[in-house]
Amino acid sequence: MGKEFVVTPWDVSGNVDYNKLIKEFGLRELKGLPKVFQENVLFRRKIIFAHRDFERIVEAIEKKKKFAMLTGLMPTGKFHIGHMILAQQIIFYQKLGADIYVAVADLESYNTRGQSLEEGRKIAVEEYIKNYITLGLKPEKCEIYFQSDRSRDGEKSGAYYRLANLFGRHATFNEFKAVYGDITPGKMVSAFLQATDIMHPGLKEFSGRVPIVVPVGVDQDPHLRLIRDMTNRLKEPDLILPSSTYHYFIQGLKGGKMSSSDPTSFIALTDSAKEVETKIKKYAFSGGKDTVEEHRAKGGNPDIDVSFQYLRFFFEQDDKKLAQIEEDYRSGKLLTGELKKITIEKINAFLKEHQARRAKIIEKDIEKFLY
Amino acid sequence: MGKEFVVTPWDVSGNVDYNKLIKEFGLRELKGLPKVFQENVLFRRKIIFAHRDFERIVEAIEKKKKFAMLTGLMPTGKFHIGHMILAQQIIFYQKLGADIYVAVADLESYNTRGQSLEEGRKIAVEEYIKNYITLGLKPEKCEIYFQSDRSRDGEKSGAYYRLANLFGRHATFNEFKAVYGDITPGKMVSAFLQATDIMHPGLKEFSGRVPIVVPVGVDQDPHLRLIRDMTNRLKEPDLILPSSTYHYFIQGLKGGKMSSSDPTSFIALTDSAKEVETKIKKYAFSGGKDTVEEHRAKGGNPDIDVSFQYLRFFFEQDDKKLAQIEEDYRSGKLLTGELKKITIEKINAFLKEHQARRAKIIEKDIEKFLY
């Protein structure tokens, strides 16, 4: 607590005080949700902890009205467990009846990371879409699209890109700088596309005037504030301000952010059992004490232990078992090596089944998602 | 001569030395053209005086190969004689066999002038398209399109907007500032769209890898230089750098630029005979002397006389008659009032016929141009 921390779209450091963030960003705590949300580990364990305007989504779910969910993916690097937090939410909202939109930010990766569209398409399919399908995403009421190629339907394509260009009038350079730190023409183009990705499901050519939920990490909230401001100025009657939810960061193995360029910072969904074992044993930041004696005496700290966090976020779905592990680790009964062993087993059991199912995906399965 | 002058996209003032401009901008004098160009007053009288890479167009015409012409229109204000210089070129290139593309810059007028797309569409049809048709534009091999709605064909629409977004990576803020004076997000969006309008006919979804000619006023060359730079960096193999031609400014009635917001600076193609008479008599800047006696003795200056320029650009197609008027005015034989009378008669004869034909245009004629 009390310790200084930084949360901006381009830097997250220090010990984040999430309650303070709620106040600073003007978010609201997520509570009093319908029972169905208890089925999802991320909501049940308050890993998704705050929101803006989420009551519209709750109302749509309760009254069985139409709503949409939008998220994006940056088609670079490997699909790793850091990406699972959004994937799990996509699939959960699909089960709740949402129209699902997934934007492949290939123009953003071209404009801000110098990656070709061809490479972006390959990574999107191999790393992201195949894993989404394996995790349970269905093609019904689901559009995965590339920013560079929104639709083969000219009306839809026109509506999407028209919106992107209309946003040009409704922001200033200073607003961009506040969100992006520094700004280039390529980043600005990407910002207008991001706003369009989030808002366009509301256009009549898509889901129409419906509430849209956008799940994000809390560091991304400045983007959403800018998009809300631009949308307010645009005065397009079909666009309702987006609802958003905010989840905790998933720490990289060594603490800090996961980085695509550093494979020892994450576990990829294509990692082998041996790789997982090595990565957890060697790199996973531990909340344990320096010696067995000290650990037995004073206990470990699961709140900062990366292995425990991975169990909590994804791999131990049973609340009772998780609570037992937490209690045992905190008391010192469970040693770090033992906790890591549990984590390795859990991850590898998951990956074994996941990889077997992923291997069976064929071209035709993928095509169902891309017009 | 020697006098200072300024030519930038946002300011033209002083006595422009066109030879100096050719050197400064790195243009080439337009000469040695095939005979067919002599049929066009603007080429024959060297009102179109310079070019970049025009040999590609000459070659296409001589070898009867495919080529394209692109121009744009800003859908604000009235269609006036200042707009005729481009309209005449569109129609001339169409007769020469070009694929014609006319971009209605409705997103630019939205982003930089705060005009609604609906208003832009109305003005484009009523003021521009109806006058183009009256002046002789045919719907065959001609696409007039709105930036906000490029095509109902999703492949074409996608290709156009993809190109606009890819340009984002290939320019810097400083380059924009050099061309636009000051820059806003809305102007930047418009700049990428302008580059796309000019370059996209070369994409395989449109005319394909063909030379494209873009006729412009010489003050617009900085835009073309920026577009050439961005295109070079883009490395899209189907895009050939555009050919461009440069024409003189058409002075407003009182000298200086024509301004849509000042009806006494131009003659609109919807003006009545009485309005034309009043405007020419009252406002047209004269190259005559202060008194009849002085004029008879020293002669007038047709080079700065606005009425004479209008005859030269548009309304006196007969070279011999024009030369006679010029000689008589320069010698003092023809008085300013008499020159103005000739001009009024010529313009009104033209407008009478033009307006009668324009009145007959029906919805169906317009639809042929807009998918």
Q: Tell me the pLDDT tens digit for each residue of B264-320.
A: 999 999 999 999 999 999 999 999 999 999 999 999 999 999 999 999 999 999 999
Smallest Cβ–Cβ distance between B162 and the set A148, A155, A158 belongs to: A148
Percent of chain A at pLDDT exceeding 70: 99
Please report the pLDDT score of residue B4 as a whole number.
78
Please report the pLDDT score of residue B5 as a whole number.
82
Radius of gyration of chain A (CA): 21
Which chain B positions have a beta carbon within 8 Å of A149's beta carbon?
A: 158, 162
Smallest Cβ–Cβ distance between B154 and the set A111, A153, A162 belongs to: A153
Please judge whether B158 and A173 are an interchain contact, meaning their C-beta atoms are less than 8 angstroms apart: no
pLDDT at A188 over 50: yes
Question: Nearest to residue B217, comparing CAs of B177, B178, B258?
Answer: B258
pLDDT at A48 over 70: yes
pLDDT at A1 over 60: no
CATH fold for the domain made of B5-249: Rossmann fold (3.40.50)
Please report the pLDDT score of residue A158 as a whole number.
96
pLDDT at B10 over 80: no
Closest approach of chain B CAs to the CA of A223, in angstroms? 16
Residue of A104, A117, A165, A182 best to disrupt the B interface, most CBs of B under 10 A: A165
- Cβ atoms of A235 and A40 within 8 Å: the answer is no
Please judge whether A171 and B155 are an interchain contact, meaning their C-beta atoms are less than 8 angstroms apart: no
Distance separating alpha carbons of residues B173 and A208, to the nearest angstrom: 36
Question: Nearest to residue B368, comparing CAs of B103, B86, B155, B129?
Answer: B129
Residue of A157, A176, A196 best to disrupt the B interface, most CBs of B under 10 A: A157
Looking at the complex, does the CB of residue A283 fall below 8 Å from at least one CB of chain B?
no
Q: How many CA atoms lie within 13 A of B247 on its CB side?
A: 23
Task: At A364, list the tokens.
Answer: 């035709």
Looking at the complex, does the CB of residue A173 fall below 8 Å from at least one CB of chain B?
yes
Smallest Cβ–Cβ distance between B165 and the set A148, A158, A173 belongs to: A148
Please judge whether B161 and A161 are an interchain contact, meaning their C-beta atoms are less than 8 angstroms apart: yes
Give the other-Cβ count within 10 Å of B104's Cβ.
Answer: 27
Please judge whether A107 and B162 are an interchain contact, meaning their C-beta atoms are less than 8 angstroms apart: yes
Closest approach of chain A CAs to the CA of B49, in angstroms? 34
- Cβ atoms of B258 and B13 within 8 Å: the answer is no
Which chain B positions have a beta carbon within 8 Å of A157's beta carbon?
A: 154, 157-158, 161
ipTM of the complex: 0.92
Please report the pLDDT score of residue B2 as a whole number.
47
Closest approach of chain B CAs to the CA of A172, in angstroms? 6
- Cβ atoms of B134 and B361 within 8 Å: the answer is yes
The segment(s) of chain B belonging to CATH 1.10.240.10 are 263-359
Superfamily covering domain A263-359: Tyrosyl-Transfer RNA Synthetase (1.10.240.10)
CA-based torsion, A27, A28, A29, A31: positive or negative: negative
pLDDT at A6 over 90: no
pLDDT at A257 over 90: no
Task: At A111, list the tokens.
Answer: 């404009």
What pLDDT band is residue B1 in, cutting at 50, 70 and 90? Answer: very low
pLDDT at B219 over 50: yes
What pLDDT band is residue A234 in, cutting at 50, 70 and 90? Answer: very high
Please report the pLDDT score of residue B142 as a whole number.
97
Percent of chain B at pLDDT exceeding 70: 99
Looking at the complex, does the CB of residue B146 fall below 8 Å from at least one CB of chain A?
no
Write phi, then psi, for A144 (nearest 5 degrees). Answer: -100, 120
Looking at the complex, does the CB of residue A60 fall below 8 Å from at least one CB of chain B?
no
Residue of A109, A150, A161 best to disrupt the B interface, most CBs of B under 10 A: A161
The segment(s) of chain A belonging to CATH 3.40.50.620 are 5-249
Q: What is the mean pLDDT of residues A279-297?
A: 96
Smallest Cβ–Cβ distance between B166 and the set A110, A161, A192 belongs to: A110
Closest approach of chain A CAs to the CA of B153, in angstroms? 5
List pLDDT tens digits, range A121-158: 999 999 999 999 999 999 999 999 999 999 999 999 99
Closest approach of chain B CAs to the CA of A261, in angstroms? 22
Looking at the complex, does the CB of residue A320 fall below 8 Å from at least one CB of chain B?
no
As a dihedral over the C-alpha atoms of residue A119, residue A121, residue A127, residue A129, rounded to 10 degrees, the angle is: 180
What pLDDT band is residue A3 in, cutting at 50, 70 and 90? Answer: low
Please judge whether A165 and B114 are an interchain contact, meaning their C-beta atoms are less than 8 angstroms apart: no
Which one is predicted more confidently, B6 or B148? B148
As a dihedral over the C-alpha atoms of residue A255, residue A258, residue A259, residue A264, rounded to 10 degrees, the angle is: 70
Cα separation values, A252 from A80, A103, A136, A303, A309, Å: 10, 24, 25, 14, 10
The rounded Cα A57 to chain-centroid distance in angstroms is 18
Distance separating alpha carbons of residues B2 and B18, to the nearest angstrom: 12
What pLDDT band is residue B3 in, cutting at 50, 70 and 90? Answer: low
pLDDT at A72 over 80: yes
Which chain A positions have a beta carbon within 8 Å of B161's beta carbon?
A: 150, 157, 161, 164
Question: Nearest to residue A300, comparing CAs of A289, A308, A315, A292?
Answer: A289
Residue with tokens 């001609």: B142
Looking at the complex, does the CB of residue B151 fall below 8 Å from at least one CB of chain A?
yes
